[in-house]
Amino acid sequence: MGAEHDAAGVRIELTRGDIAAQPDIDAVVNAANAQLLPGGGVAGALHRAAGPELAAACRPHAPIRPGECVITEGFALPSQYVIHCLGPVYGIDEPAAGLLADCYRNALLLADRQGLASIAFPAVSAGSFGYPAREAADVALATVITTAPRLASVRRVRFVLFGEESLLVHEQAL
Ligand code: AR6
């Protein structure tokens, strides 16, 4: 288990694990591609666990732009919803930090508009998209903390990190 922190009544939890296996979370965030296709990494894991209905539900929303988020049902996932975010490709989509912050803020506000109480994020852009882990963690946590006062229904934000190193950089950022 990792660290916890309270920001304006919103609990921020850091944990190691699989974003596709979060039974006590209302919406999990997908580190998507623009076409909202299954792909690898987080997107692959979520689509595998959700089943083929997820790709079908995504199709009418595609393509999305960096920083943008859309919501679908979670189908066979333990979470009821998936919020698909397109993170910036590091070194290509600019400004990288601004676009990554847009992902986190837009996902939180979308979950809040749906009246959800909990949301879990992976480290968006910090895998295939090449965003340096510590810089991405700084943007992610700063954005959750600055957005927290605007949230009415979201009360729990979990970061589900894949490895020990990723958990460590998020703990340092927090
Ligand atoms: N649960 C939690 N974290 C995970 C999981 C998992 N099941 N699998 C990987 N990670 P990435 P991106 C970590 O590449 O950088 C896809 O192919 C991973 O170790 O999934 O935004 C899409 O189709 C890393 O720390 O997302 C896109 O084309 C972090 O999650 C592209 O990759 C994000 O890695 C998106 O790239």
Check: CB of residue 23 under 8 Å from CB of residue 117.
Answer: no
How many Cβ atoms from other residues are within 10 Å of residue 3's Cβ? Answer: 14
What pLDDT, in 10s, does the model give residues 135-149?
Answer: 999 999 999 999 999
Residues of the chain with pLDDT under 70: 1
Percent of the chain with pLDDT over 90: 98
Secondary structure letter of residue 44 according to DSSP: H
Residue 111, Cβ density class (10 Å: 0-12 exposed, 13-18 middle, ≥19 buried): buried
Centre of ligand 1 from the C-alpha of residue 120, in Å: 14
Intra-chain end-to-end CA distance of the chain, in Å: 14
The structure's pTM equals 0.98
Ligand 1 proximity of 87 Cβ (cutoff 6 Å) = yes
What pLDDT, in 10s, does the model give residues 98-144?
Answer: 999 999 999 999 999 999 999 999 999 999 999 999 999 999 999 99
Ligand 1 proximity of 86 Cβ (cutoff 6 Å) = no
Centre of ligand 1 from the C-alpha of residue 127, in Å: 5
In this predicted structure, what is the pLDDT of residue 79?
98
In this predicted structure, what is the pLDDT of residue 107?
99
Ligand 1 proximity of 120 Cβ (cutoff 6 Å) = no
Centre of ligand 1 from the C-alpha of residue 40, in Å: 7
| ipTM for the assembly | 0.99
Distance (Å, rounded) from C-alpha 126 to C-alpha 130? 5
